[in-house]
């Protein structure tokens, strides 16, 4: 193996892309211009450093193609996978470990890895931190330590470890410095020594002491999950068994699961702000019922839950233990719980696509109230419930407006949505008054972005941690006497690995230049008058974020669920058995979590709407095929069935003739139908002509603002054998009318068109008499309340007698046919 390369003691920068070609070696020297003695000393130092390091792993091969970041000029890809300690101190040692990968097309020859000498002065501005990530110029490597690399073929990788004394780095003042590792050497297709690759990160250096005011930092710790509770429940003797659409929470609540690890990690922190979706707590509580059921994959989501389309849940013990663990974590002094509105409705989608829907404002207000009560009840903790968190923290004037209508006085905002003006060359505090009695807490965009992805690899974890420490150190020391407040906004779906990285970074900096505080403490800070307080207009809302919103069609479907639920509530005698599950399910259909699982959200909304329609249609008028009215008068019988497990009331049946001049019926009939039974109503009919007439039977709610209930049923009535006597009466009436008309004409001629002495005027043609019949106007509905649910019984109907002489039990003929529901013949 060829000797390791190095810079000259003069510190000249080596150019990574030097021109190829042979060079004449100086007298007594080598082709690289170094003396033999220096080469020997350098080689000995390299091997000595290598022996002093941790044992290196053997070279391994990467998948074909190598690393995508390799280039022809920089074929080596270096990673930093740990920096220990993460903050350097005087008289200490910094150890770096990672991997060197040959991502090029030819083997490495005589290569080595070495730590680059940092600049003498620390970086003072956050803009300098950003520039460092784009700088590719080679630097001056330290003579020691260096790691001699074996010959690596394309695609092979080699672990390395380098330890360096802080004193050898030449750090001067406290601050943030670049920490870089370079790879130097040659390749089989280019024998000239050059820089082959670099890995860099940030190294805060703290000498202790100082009079900088620590930055107050609030980290949001979200506990959210896509809705899993279904509107259905399973009736089970003395209790109602909950039903979940899947059993994913059983894994999440168990050790190693995402939600378990979030609680376990957060419990070790102080000054934490837990942001909790109340629906998740309800789901966990429902799972503590050991009999809870889960819908089978592929089963129709809108059908009543039964043993044949559900399976037993498996997460009862894990859910109970998780709730206990969470209660203990949020009870720690200095922590705070923020209750999101129930099921975390998507404020941005509603503001942009559903603001004109009457049910949205009602849904948001109910969600806010239910959210606070649920979190307080499930966790036995005080909560704050007036906080709005739009999707990814992006806002515009429509979003803040609808948040204000829903009672949110504080809005959590992404810094990208409200960037600072160029005139502000420091980081202002997070609090911003945005008008109309609302405040915003604006999260730092750069810091929050570090935790937006799942940090599972050691490389990503080290990169995020060191950048976090560098950014927060610089923020604190930008204006050391001006204490600021910083908000960190991770994603709603914060992963377990990312949470651990964030927690570790907070603990490292919290002992030095950060002061973790809860949300209320940060919100009460004095705002910076130079900070941006302008909420962007809707035209400035990011297009890519808008693309994932719930559509107007989705929101209209949810709004219809609310209207249909209101109608059903008016007829039930035990509405609490239906109101709670469906009110909650309606809000769940608006969840922000459907942004990333659109198909699941569509299926959930469709299932809720279908099941509600099934419950509504369990009270109905069965279809009739044909009815014969033999004569000029008679009774028409119409049945109404109730397949629910509770009595229904506040209903009336309206029977309407399409030709009232030929066949008229008596007025509507109000009815009460016991559970799992049916009633038959009898309407007096009067016929004037033979032939078919179509009748419409429609259920309506009674009371103020009557509403149509369910679909109408139509059936033909065949009128036969209208008697001759009736026809004679009609004919005689016609003759009398004709004689009266002739007399009237003769009188006009006799008077010459002059008024009669009694004041009568000549009369022209008047309007024909109207037929009987009217329809009630449709209007708004009552607001629902809360509470388990109701399902069609599917049991045989039973006859009953209700409501007086016109409401009779269903009658069957000796052959078993239901004459009120099918072909029948009624006489006078």
Whether residue 116 is predicted with pLDDT greater than 80 in this model: the reply is: yes
List CB contacts of 418: < 8 A, sequence separation 6 or more: 395, 432, 440, 442, 532, 533, 534, 535, 536
Measure the CA dihedral 585/586/589/591, to 10°: -90
- Predicted local confidence at residue 177, as pLDDT: 96
For the segment 416-430, the average pLDDT, to the nearest whole number, is: 95
pLDDT tens digits along 302-311 = 888 888 899 9
For the segment 10-28, the average pLDDT, to the nearest whole number, is: 34
Whether residue 628 is predicted with pLDDT greater than 80 in this model: the reply is: yes
Report the predicted TM-score, pTM, of the whole model to 2 decimal places: 0.79
pLDDT tens digits along 580-609 = 889 999 999 999 999 999 899 999 999 999
- Residue 584 CA to residue 589 CA, distance in Å, equals 9
Contact between 600 and 295 under an 8 Å Cβ cutoff? The reply is no
Q: What SS3 state is found at 129? A: helix
Burial of 269 (0-12, 13-18, 19+ CB in 10 A): buried
- Predicted local confidence at residue 40, as pLDDT: 40
User: Positive or negative CA dihedral for 699, 701, 707, 710?
Assistant: negative
Whether residue 694 is predicted with pLDDT greater than 90 in this model: the reply is: yes
Whether residue 60 is predicted with pLDDT greater than 70 in this model: the reply is: no
Name the more confident of 156 and 52: 156
First and final CA of the chain: distance in angstroms?
Answer: 116
Phi/psi of residue 362, nearest 5 degrees: -60, -45
Host H or E run for residue 415: none
- Predicted local confidence at residue 480, as pLDDT: 93
List CB contacts of 807: < 8 A, sequence separation 6 or more: 669, 671, 679, 680, 681, 682, 801
Contact between 334 and 367 under an 8 Å Cβ cutoff? The reply is no
Whether residue 208 is predicted with pLDDT greater than 50 in this model: the reply is: yes
pLDDT tens digits along 67-115 = 347 787 789 999 999 999 999 999 999 999 999 999 999 999 999 999 9
Q: Which residue has the tokens 């150019």?
A: 15
- Residue 2 CA to residue 149 CA, distance in Å, equals 10
Contact between 182 and 141 under an 8 Å Cβ cutoff? The reply is yes
Whether residue 778 is predicted with pLDDT greater than 90 in this model: the reply is: no
Packing angle of the helix pair 576-588, 598-616 (nearest 10 deg) = 160
Q: What SS3 state is found at 620? A: strand
For the segment 717-729, the average pLDDT, to the nearest whole number, is: 63
Neighbours of 505 (CB within 10 A): 25
For the segment 466-485, the average pLDDT, to the nearest whole number, is: 96
Share of the chain above pLDDT 90, in %: 64
Q: Are strands 175-187 and 190-205 parallel, antiparallel or unpaired?
A: antiparallel
Rounded alpha-carbon distances, angstroms, from residue 59 to 3, 62, 157, 191: 19, 10, 5, 22
Mean pLDDT of the chain: 82
- Predicted local confidence at residue 803, as pLDDT: 36
Name the more confident of 688 and 742: 688
DSSP 716: E
Contact between 29 and 40 under an 8 Å Cβ cutoff? The reply is no
- Residue 560 CA to residue 605 CA, distance in Å, equals 11
- Predicted local confidence at residue 629, as pLDDT: 84
If pLDDT is split at 50, 70 and 90, which confidence band does 179 have? very high
Burial of 39 (0-12, 13-18, 19+ CB in 10 A): middle
- Residue 58 CA to residue 171 CA, distance in Å, equals 34
Name the more confident of 674 and 63: 674
pLDDT tens digits along 647-691 = 999 999 999 999 998 899 988 889 999 999 999 999 999 988 888
Reference 509, options 219, 782, 751, 730; nearest CA is 219
Neighbours of 702 (CB within 10 A): 17
Q: Phi-psi bin for 593: left (phi > 0), alpha (psi -120 to 50), beta? A: alpha
Name the more confident of 376 and 791: 376
For the segment 23-41, the average pLDDT, to the nearest whole number, is: 37
- Predicted local confidence at residue 772, as pLDDT: 33
The string over 479-497, giving b where at least 16 C-beta atoms fall within 10 Å of a residue's C-beta and e elsewhere, is: eeeebbbbbbbbbbebbbb
Q: Where do the H-state alpha helices sit in 440-481? A: 445-449, 458-478
Q: Which two tokens stand for residue 228?
A: 């899993």
Share of the chain above pLDDT 70, in %: 78
Contact between 289 and 238 under an 8 Å Cβ cutoff? The reply is no
DSSP 539: G
């Amino acid at each position: 193996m060829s000797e390791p390369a190095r810079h000259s003691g003069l510190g000249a920068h080596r150019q990574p892309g030097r021109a190829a070609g042979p060079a004449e070696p100086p007298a007594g020297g080598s082709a690289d211009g170094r003396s033999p003695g220096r080469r020997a000393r350098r080689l000995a130092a390299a091997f000595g450093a290598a022996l002093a390091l941790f044992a290196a792993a053997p070279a391994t091969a990467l998948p074909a193609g190598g690393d995508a970041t390799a280039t022809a000029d920089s074929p080596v890809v270096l990673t930093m996978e740990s920096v220990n300690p993460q903050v350097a101190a005087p008289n200490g040692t910094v150890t770096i470990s990672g991997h060197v990968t040959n991502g090029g097309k030819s083997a490495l020859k005589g290569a080595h890895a070495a730590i680059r000498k940092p600049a003498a002065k620390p970086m003072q501005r956050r803009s300098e931190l950003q520039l460092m990530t784009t700088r590719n110029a080679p630097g001056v490597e330290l003579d020691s330590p260096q790691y001699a690399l074996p010959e690596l073929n394309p695609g092979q990788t080699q672990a390395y470890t380098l330890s360096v004394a802080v004193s050898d780095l030449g750090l001067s003042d406290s601050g943030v410095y670049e920490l870089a590792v370079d790879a130097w050497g040659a390749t089989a297709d280019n024998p000239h020594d050059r820089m082959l690759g670099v890995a860099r990160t940030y190294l805060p250096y703290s000498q202790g002491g100082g009079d900088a005011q620590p930055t107050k930092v609030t980290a949001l710790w979200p506990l959210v999950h896509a809705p899993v509770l279904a509107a259905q429940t399973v009736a089970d003797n003395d209790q109602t068994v909950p039903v979940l659409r899947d059993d994913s929470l059983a894994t999440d609540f168990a050790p190693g699961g995402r939600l378990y690890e979030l609680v376990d990690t957060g419990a070790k922190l102080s000054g934490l702000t837990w942001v909790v979706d109340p629906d998740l707590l309800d789901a966990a509580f429902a799972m503590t019922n050991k009999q809870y059921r889960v819908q089978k994959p592929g089963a129709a989501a809108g059908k009543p839950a039964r043993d044949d389309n559900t399976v037993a849940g498996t997460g009862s013990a894990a859910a109970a233990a998780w709730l206990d663990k969470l209660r203990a974590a949020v009870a720690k002094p200095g922590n705070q719980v923020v209750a999101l509105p129930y099921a975390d409705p998507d404020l941005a989608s509603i503001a942009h696509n559903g603001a004109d829907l009457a049910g949205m404002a009602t849904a948001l207000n109910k969600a806010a109230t239910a959210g606070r009560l649920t979190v307080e009840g499930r966790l036995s903790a005080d909560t704050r419930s007036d906080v709005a968190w739009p999707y990814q923290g992006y806002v515009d004037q429509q979003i803040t407006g609808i948040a204000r209508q829903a009672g949110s006085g504080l809005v959590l905002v992404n810094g990208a949505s409200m960037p600072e003006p160029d005139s502000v060359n420091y980081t202002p505090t997070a609090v911003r008054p945005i008008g109309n009695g609302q405040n915003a807490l604006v999260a730092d965009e750069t810091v929050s972005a570090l935790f937006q992805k799942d940090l599972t690899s050691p490389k990503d974890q080290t990169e995020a941690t060191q950048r976090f420490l560098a950014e927060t150190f610089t923020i604190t020391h930008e204006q050391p006497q001006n204490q600021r407040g910083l908000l960190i906004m991770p994603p709603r779906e914060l992963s377990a690995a990312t949470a651990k990285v964030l927690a570790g970074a907070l603990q490292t900096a919290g002992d030095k230049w950060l002061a973790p505080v809860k949300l209320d403490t940060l919100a009460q800070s004095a705002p910076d008058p130079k900070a941006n307080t302008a909420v962007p207009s809707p035209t400035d809302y990011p297009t890519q974020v808008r693309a994932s919103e719930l559509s107007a069609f989705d929101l209209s479907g949810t709004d219809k669920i609310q209207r249909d639920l209101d109608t059903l509530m008016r007829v039930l005698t035990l509405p609490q058995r239906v109101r709670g599950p469906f009110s909650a399910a309606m809000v769940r259909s608006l969840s922000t979590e459907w942004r990333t699982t659109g198909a699941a959200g569509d299926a959930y909304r469709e299932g809720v709407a279908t099941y509600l329609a099934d419950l509504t249609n369990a009270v109905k008028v069965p279809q009739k095929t044909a009815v014969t009215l033999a004569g000029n008068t008679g009774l028409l019988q119409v049945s109404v069935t109730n397949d629910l497990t509770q009595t229904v009331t506040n209903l009336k049946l309206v029977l309407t003739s399409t030709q009232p001049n030929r066949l008229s019926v008596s007025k509507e009939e109000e009815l009460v139908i016991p559970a799992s039974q049916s009633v038959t109503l009898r309407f007096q009919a009067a016929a004037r002509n033979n032939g078919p007439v179509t009748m419409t039977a429609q259920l309506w709610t009674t009371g103020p603002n009557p509403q149509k209930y369910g679909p109408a049923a139509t059936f033909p009535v065949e009128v036969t054998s209208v008697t001759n006597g009736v026809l004679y009466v009609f004919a005689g009436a016609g003759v009398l009318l004709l004689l009266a008309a002739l007399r009237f004409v003769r009188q006009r001629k006799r008077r010459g068109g002059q008024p009669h002495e009694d004041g009568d005027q000549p009369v022209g043609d008047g309007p024909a008499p109207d037929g009987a019949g009217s329809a009630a106007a449709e209007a708004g509905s009552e607001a629902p309340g809360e509470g388990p649910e109701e399902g069609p019984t599917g049991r045989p109907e039973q006859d009953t007698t209700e409501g007086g002489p016109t409401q009779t039990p269903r009658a069957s003929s000796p052959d078993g046919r239901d004459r009120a529901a099918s072909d029948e013949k009624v006489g006078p």
